[in-house]
Structure 1
């Protein structure tokens, strides 16, 4: 098998980068995104696909037709529906790589749907933001065909690594990491906005830097962490709902994960309620965001 043709379901931040970098290698990339169905988003999506060198398809089934590998890169809330909806269109032997950030149980349910068609499911967990490293972003793989796909992807410039032959282990690693990473983003947002209200942010940041001098609390780290919530909080909240399910399945109460859902979604809701969007906030500064949210009345 060679990866000369790939179907890509979902054309957001991660999907757009994968499409562009693979197309640049001469890979035929067939893309579908549900935004194609919206009159207000169709033209922008078509322009992005053309810029990436990808062929825009009118359905997920069309994007998956005739390709050895289909990559699902949608939101956490849509991941299982996409797998179930596409299963009937897949052929025996096709590979379905699910890179969505969802609970192990969700991946296992998707696995059963895909396997019923005779296609082969691969659990994939993207372990860092995609934009900086692009194809070199670390990805963990799991499933019966994970070893074979790992070699094919890495030959195309990916940085994948197999962690298990079982579906769900790679996802569990990502979910447990997200308790920490998305939680840190939420904690930073709440801590610094509160500190700024009391005129205490300089001392708080100095104290954090003293306790954790290698992290960058005296530099760009606070801006970066809050920016991730401001830009991706809605998508991250969906992921954290999957994290909460992961925690529950382990027999624990997901107190921190559920609080992170509220914090991630809450900041984006506040931004939207004031008629702002992330583009209005660039170049991003968490202090400026705090000032805008306090000064601008909600609609």
Structure 2
């Protein structure tokens, strides 16, 4: 397995990081994103791609025409739509690496679109936040070509490990972890903001530190708030896929927690979209975020 050209579907945070990290590994790197056609945003995004040495494609067809390794990094809700669009144009023998946070069932449906037209679908479970690691972010791969692809990516300096030749295993690992991690984010936001409203945070956080002394609850709280404020919509979509993962585990196994986590993540995303956190700096304390949420509460009628 050898690749000459990498095509990135999605030029958001992950897409930018991966294309920057991979452009020196192959002969060429290109990207396609719906944002390239949004009048208010396309010029800045295309300029960013050009400066980064990434060819901004005009369409999915143009990207698939040149790429022998296609990487999909979009929101969870777009996983199937992107696979379907790529299936119409993917070159025979090209590998389609799906980084998206989707359930095992969704990944299997995506593979059923790519494989019959001659592509090779490989699922990836990205196991932690990408920015601190770049292309070395730990990834678990699954599918018939997972082991072969893992060898290529490892040679590029990436931390990719094949866990199964069966589709769904890697995504199941990722989704079960997400219930915990995104759940902690949601719990911290709800607990800390409520504690702030009652003026009891200086009592609550020390009790957490006593129970879990290895965690800096002030620092971790600020990080959780900032990530959800920045990426709440993406996290909410991921948690809806996590809820699907729970449902796919068997009849009668209801995703009470995953659904609630999705709701909290979506609520924060909606607050961010409404401008509640406008002007908060990247090094803000968790209290700064909590105060904005409390200030945005509707006032009770007298």
Q: Could you say whether these structures have the same fold, taking a TM-score greater than 0.5 normalized by the shorter chain as the test?
A: yes
1:29 and 2:40 are equivalent in the alignment: no
CA RMSD of aligned residues (A): 1.5
CA offset digits 1:63-112 (Å, max 9, x no partner):
12132210001110111000011102112211000000001000000000
Q: Where does residue 238 of structure 2 map in the other structure?
A: 239
The 10-residue stretch of structure 1 (283-292 or 241-250) with the greater mean CA deviation from structure 2: 283-292
Q: Where does residue 253 of structure 1 map in the other structure?
A: 254
Preserved contact between residue 24 and residue 53 of structure 1 (Cα < 8 Å):
no
SS of aligned partner of 1:132? coil
Q: Where does residue 45 of structure 1 map in the other structure?
A: 45
Q: Partners in 2 of 1:233 and 1:132 — Cα distance?
A: 18
Deviation at 1:216, TM superposition (A): 1.7
After superposition, residues 141-156 of structure 1 pair within 5 angstroms as 141-156=141-156
Q: Where does residue 113 of structure 1 map in the other structure?
A: 113
Q: Partners in 2 of 1:142 and 1:85 — Cα distance?
A: 22
Unmatched 5+ stretches in structure 1? none
Q: Partners in 1 of 2:288 and 2:11 — Cα distance?
A: 30
SS of aligned partner of 2:117? coil
Q: Partners in 1 of 2:168 and 2:60 — Cα distance?
A: 24
SS of aligned partner of 1:157? coil
Q: Where does residue 65 of structure 1 map in the other structure?
A: 65
Q: Where does residue 86 of structure 2 map in the other structure?
A: 86
SS of aligned partner of 1:3? coil
Q: Partners in 2 of 1:90 and 1:280 — Cα distance?
A: 43
SS of aligned partner of 2:3? coil
Matched residue count: 296
CA offset digits 1:160-203 (Å, max 9, x no partner):
00000011110000000001000000000000000011111111
SS of aligned partner of 1:144? coil
1:123 and 2:128 are equivalent in the alignment: no
Deviation at 1:26, TM superposition (A): 5.3
Deviation at 1:228, TM superposition (A): 1.6
Deviation at 1:296, TM superposition (A): 4.9
Q: Where does residue 159 of structure 1 map in the other structure?
A: 159
Q: Where does residue 227 of structure 2 map in the other structure?
A: 228
